[in-house]
Amino acid sequence: MACPGVPSPCPAHRRPPGSGRFSLVLTRRSAWLLLTVLLGAVGCVGRESTPGAPAIMAVDDLGDTLRLATRATRIVSLIPATTELLFALGLGDRVVGRTTWCDYPAAARAVPSLGDGLQPNLEAIVAAQPDLVVLYNSVQNVAAADRLRAQHIPTVLVTTDRLADVPRLARLLAPLGGRAEAGDSLARWFEAALDSATATGGGHTRNVLVLAWDQPPIVIGAGSFLSELVERAGGRNVFHDLAAASAPVSLEAIASRDVDVVLVLGDTMPAFARRAEWMSVPAVREHRFVYVPSALFSRPGPRSPEALRVLSAALRAGPLP
Amino acid sequence: MTTRQWGALLAGTILALIAGVSVGAVDIDWRGVAGALSAAPTGEAALVRYLRMPRVVLAFLVGGALSVAGASLQALVRNPLADPYLVGLSGGAGLGAVLAIALHLGGPWAVPLAAFAGALGAVAVVYRLSVVAGRRLDPHILLLGGVVVGAFAGSLMSAVITLASASELRSAMLWLLGGFGMASWPAVAVFASYALVPLGLLVGSARGLDLLTLGEENAQYLGADVEALKRRVYLSVAALTGAAVAVSGIIGFVGLVVPHVMRRWGVPLHRQLLPAAFLAGGAFLVLSDLIARSLFRPLELPVGVVTALIGVPIFALQLRKSLR
């Protein structure tokens, strides 16, 4: 099937993605993602004009084909990133279920929460009478999706880890709600906005440490959209050599990585800045922290270009070694 | 235990310590390592001095403490399966750590202190359960009580994890898997000064532990104040293990296996077994941590994974040899 307009992931993007809340299920999930890539399951959407045939078709990130007779009108979205995206696509009024973490836009909070999205509550989903369920592409959710489909509830499994997932999923999800043009235009806008916000050369490249956790130290690797944002903001992720989205590393390795600044998602000095062992990392000892609002950086989505601008400015203004 | 055995044990321990400071996530040549001993080290030498050395020393102390605690507990309950974490400590410590993280308790020491408090809380409940009729401490109830209290605390921990924000609590689970990533000289100083008292009490109880292995009644006849001894040993084991959890999470297997290996190596008497187990356990954990932090560098394995992967084959081989 042809997928016009769907950007195929470049080889650099074919890494086990993952970020934020899902960071520690990476290892288990990466096998699935690898499988996804091998199956060539780039989500793509087409329409068949044959009378009587399903009106809308989509292939999800696990390679399963979804057929909808009519556009979806009751959508359960159990990923914060897709909830945000559905609202941005003008499909917000059709979202009838979300996760506890879906906090953006504000209108999303009015939608009933159906749990944390990691182990979906099937009864609650079925009770919401959805005609489309969006689940994160993880091992637990594959079983959940099978059971939902057995109940004749169309379900898609998608990955939302990298910046390229935003336009890709816009083009995947919008047609399912009958708003293919909105998906296309959001995708085009996103790519252009991201490119125009991307720092273009010049100046000193900051070596940035992005921590997911400090006890034990877990760093963000190249597989995370946070790493992509850092690189686009004119920085360099000091752990860009780690393919995973996040990984536990030795403090010794961090200390030897020549960190210029530490990215802090939030506005308060992290507690580890006062721990003796972290004094061996010069950037921490000298409090070279760059603070950015955590809400903008919690997931890849339509706000990522704005996040990129904020990060670029923060890195430019940030403390110099 | 012969002089030759002591010599071998000491030499092995020193070699392990030297290997521990020489190898790590970063390649540092011997000049850098030697430079760490200078008055004001800089660059790589500072890395060795302030990150690697405290880490090696802390691993050594924790390994030694866990082995002594395991050997003493096995004698106390006369059960070779006794592991210091079995007495409800790990569940309690886990609950404490997870609560501290879920409630966003501030401060750099919040998580370790909460784990320590949780461990001691669980021990207090087990102890209360085990003191029968207000006086006697029943070793069997101690084990059973430890298992059920540990399971209860573990379930509470799972509930908190399910209900609270996910990413931080997954990290808490990783913290509980154990490791020496947060080792520093202040942490070494705190642990060493704290562990001295329970370690001293246990070594001082060595003769009593020898008598206990003959059975409580026989120990009584041979002049031991059995009830006081049991209480002293149990509380020392709990205090020691609780402190180990606070600085390094839950590192299984050391306290279970090292005492067995040393006993089968020909050290049956506790006067010798406890110091020998201290050295062997310390060296074992130093080497396990060395592997954990350098095998897949810069990635780091939880040290508990390594202790089991190395410890089980050694233990199985020895078990087989002794049965032949």
Got the DSSP string for B216-272?
A: HHHHHHTT--HHHHHHHHHHHHHHHHHHHHHHH----SHHHHHHHHHHHTT--SHHH
Rounded distance between C-alpha atoms, residue A290 and residue A209, angstroms:
10
The answer to the question of residue A173 being in a domain is yes
Calculate the average pLDDT of chain B: 85
Task: Specify whether A32 is located in the same domain as A105.
Answer: yes
Residues A37 and A161 in one domain: yes
Q: How far is B23 from chain A (nearest CA, A)?
A: 11
Distances B4 to A157, B205, B259 between C-alpha atoms, Å: 64, 26, 19
pLDDT tens string A234-257: 899 999 999 988 888 989 899 988
Contacts of A212 in chain B (CB under 8 A): 167, 171
Q: Which of A154, A176, A195 is the last residue of a domain?
A: A195
Let me know if residue A36 belongs to a domain.
yes
DSSP A98: B
What is the amino acid identity at position A83? Answer: T
Mean pLDDT over A296-321 rounds to 89
Coil/strand/helix, residue B33: helix
ipTM confidence score? 0.75
- Locate tokens 């430019």: which residue? A316
Q: Answer whether A215 touches B (CB < 8 Å).
A: yes
CA A164 to chain centre: 9
In a shared domain, residues A50 and A150:
yes
Q: A43 lies in a domain? A: yes
Most confident residue range from A148-152, B169-173, B265-269, B312-316: A148-152
Q: Does A280 touch chain B (CB under 8 A)?
A: yes
d(CA A83, CA B223): 73
In a domain, A3, yes or no: no
pLDDT at A1: 37
Q: Are A32 and A141 in contact (CB under 8 A)?
A: no
* Whether residues A35 and A172 fall in one domain: yes
Kindly list the residues from chain B whose CB atom is less than 8 angstroms away from the CB atom of residue A252. 24-26, 47, 51-52, 293
Give percent of chain B with pLDDT exceeding 90.
24
Distance (Å) from the C-alpha of residue A242 to the closest C-alpha of chain B? 9
Count: domains in chain A: 2
- B134 to chain A, any CB pair closer than 8 A? The answer is no
Q: Which pLDDT band holds residue A69 (cuts at 50, 70, 90)?
A: confident
How much helix, strand and coil, in percent to the nearest 5, is found in chain B? 75, 0, 20
B2 — contact with chain A (CB < 8 Å)?
A: no
Band (B324; pLDDT cuts 50, 70, 90): low
pLDDT at B161: 77
Q: Residue B177 carries which side chain, given as an amino acid letter? A: L
Q: Are residues A160 and A227 in the same domain?
A: no
Tokens found for residue B309: 């992967």
Q: Which residue type does A190 have?
A: F
Average pLDDT of the residues of chain A: 81
Residue A73: the pLDDT is 92
Check whether residue A173 and residue A308 sit in a common domain: no
**CB-based contact (8 Å) between A21 and chain B?**
yes
List of chain A residues whose C-beta atoms are within 8 Å of the C-beta of residue B111: 215
A247 phi and psi angles, rounded to 5 deg: -160, 145
From B19's Cα to the closest Cα of chain A, the distance in A is 16
Is the peptide bond prior to A216 cis by the omega test (within 30 degrees of 0)? yes
- Looking at residue B136, what is its pLDDT? 76
Range of the domain at A242: 206-317
8 Å CB contact between B24 and A252: yes
What are A268-284's pLDDT values in tens digits?
A: 888 888 888 898 899 99
Residue A9 within a domain: no
Shared domain check, A233 and A302: yes
Q: Is B215 a residue whose pLDDT tops 90? A: no
Give the β-pairing of A235-237 and A246-248.
unpaired
Best residue of A215, A238, A254, A269 to probe chain B, by most B CBs closer than 10 Å: A215
**Binning pLDDT at 50, 70 and 90, where does residue A14 land?**
very low
What pLDDT is attached to residue A50?
46
Q: Which amino acid is at B18?
A: I
A6 belongs to a structural domain: no
Q: Do A250 and B106 make contact, defined as CB atoms within 8 angstroms?
A: no
Shared-domain flag, residues A129 and A270: no
* Nearest-10 crossing angle of helices B185-204, B270-294: 160
Residues A97 and A172 in one domain: yes
What pLDDT score does B271 carry? 87
Whether A237 is covered by a domain: the verdict is yes
Phi and psi torsions of B141, nearest 5°: -65, -30
In whole angstroms, what is the distance from residue B108 CA to residue B49 CA? 21
Q: What's the rounded Cα separation, in Å, for the pair A63 and A41?
A: 5
**CATH code of the domain containing A302:** 3.40.50.1980
Count CA within 13 A, CB hemisphere, residue A220: 28
Answer yes or no: is pLDDT of B274 > 80: yes
Mark whether A186 and A210 lie in a shared domain. Answer: no
- Whether the per-residue pLDDT at A16 is higher than 80: the answer is no
What is the reported pLDDT for A41?
38
Residue A147 lies in a domain: yes
Taking only Cα atoms into account, the Rg of chain B, rounded to an integer number of angstroms, comes to: 20
CA proximity to A69, closest of A90, A50, A97: A50
Architecture of the structural domain at B3-38+49-323? Orthogonal Bundle (1.10)
Contacts of B110 in chain A (CB under 8 A): 271
Decide if A215 and B168 are in contact by the 8 Å CB cutoff: no
Which is more confident, A216 or B132? A216
Quick one: A216 and A296 in the same domain? yes
Whether A5 has a pLDDT exceeding 60, the answer reads no
Dihedrals phi, psi of A207, to nearest 5 degrees: -85, 115
Same domain, A221 and A168: no
Measured distance CA(B176)–CA(A301) in Å, rounded: 33
d(CA B196, CA A221): 41
Name the residue ranges covered by the structural domains of chain B.
3-38+49-323
